[in-house]
């Protein structure tokens, strides 16, 4: 089982609040990712990081921001939550350094179910 | 447009029966195809990863097949158990970038009844 953790698991919060979703991994992986998933829909990449001080936006536009100050930690922040942010947020990580085309396994955390009222 | 389509959208089977889930993709250039199992309220867990040169891979009662020519994959589950109830997601990765861009299907929701 992958050693990747997310907190909180569930969060119900009012509109306008600032929130931070935590993600930590103990595998020493360089690459980390944030996905957003609505019920019955596919995962959408919203942020990724290749390593410390490296962050990039993903395919799905998101009002959230991320930081990568430490290898093991990749928090996601919403400055002002809105009902449209209600979704499941999944964090993942993968190792690096292997030559293509060997596929890199992505390990997912348990997710944070966010509800904004 | 790179897409991953899965069928059926949902499936109900009785415990002990076999089933096959389908995945069609248009991702190009193709790198690898993965099947994940996602329990309700949890993150996806990898079942198999197949590259272009592999056409079958097994993981216990799960067997995945890949036909890179027709761009189709299937996941066969034998002797289903109640714990197999989950969403099964097909994910295809393209070549050419270190990130290996992943394209996700919407999943097949499998329910196993006793």
The reply to whether residue B43 touches residue A45, judged by beta carbons under 8 angstroms, is no
Q: Is B102 on the interface with A (CB under 8 A)?
A: yes
- What is the average per-residue pLDDT within A47-63? 89
Nearest residue, CB atoms, A109 vs list B43, B51, B89: B43
Residue A40 — very low, low, confident or very high, per pLDDT cuts 50/70/90? confident
Shortest Cα distance from B17 to chain A (angstroms)?
A: 24
Task: Reply yes or no on whether the pLDDT at A97 is more than 90.
Answer: no
Partner residues linked to B91 by β-bridges: B34, B104
Tell me the pLDDT of chain B (114 aa) as tens digits.
Answer: 789 999 999 999 999 999 999 999 998 888 889 999 999 888 999 999 998 888 999 999 999 999 999 999 999 999 999 999 999 999 998 875 555 678 999 999 999 999
For residue B10, the chain A residue with the least C-alpha distance is A40
What does the alpha-carbon distance between residue B3 and residue B55 come to, in Å, rounded to a whole number? 20
Quote the tokens at residue A37. 């998933």
| C-alpha torsion B8→B13→B15→B21, nearest 10 | -20
For residue B87, the chain A residue with the least C-alpha distance is A40
Residues in B closer than 8 angstroms to A31, CB to CB, are 99
């Amino acid at each position: 089982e992958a050693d990747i953790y997310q907190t909180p698991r569930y969060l119900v919060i009012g509109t306008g609040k600032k929130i931070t979703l935590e993600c930590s991994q103990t595998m020493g992986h360089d690459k980390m990712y944030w996905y957003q998933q609505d019920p019955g829909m596919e995962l959408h990449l919203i942020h990724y990081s290749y390593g410390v001080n490296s962050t990039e936006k993903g395919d799905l536009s998101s009002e959230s921001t991320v930081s990568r100050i430490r290898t093991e930690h990749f928090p996601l922040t919403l400055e002002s939550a809105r009902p449209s942010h209600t979704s499941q947020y999944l964090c993942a990580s993968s190792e690096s350094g292997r030559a293509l085309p060997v596929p890199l396994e992505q390990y997912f955390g348990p997710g944070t179910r966010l509800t904004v009222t | 447009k790179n897409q991953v389509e899965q069928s059926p959208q949902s499936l109900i089977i009785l415990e002990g029966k076999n089933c096959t889930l389908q995945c069609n993709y248009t991702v190009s250039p193709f790198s690898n195809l993965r099947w994940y199992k996602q329990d309700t309220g949890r993150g996806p867990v990898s079942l198999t990863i197949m590259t272009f040169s592999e056409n079958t891979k097994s993981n216990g009662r799960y067997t995945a097949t890949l036909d890179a020519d027709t761009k189709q994959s299937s996941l066969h589950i034998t002797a289903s158990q109640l714990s197999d109830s989950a969403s099964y997601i097909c994910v295809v990765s393209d070549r050419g970038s270190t990130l290996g861009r992943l394209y996700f299907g919407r999943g097949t929701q499998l329910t196993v009844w006793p």
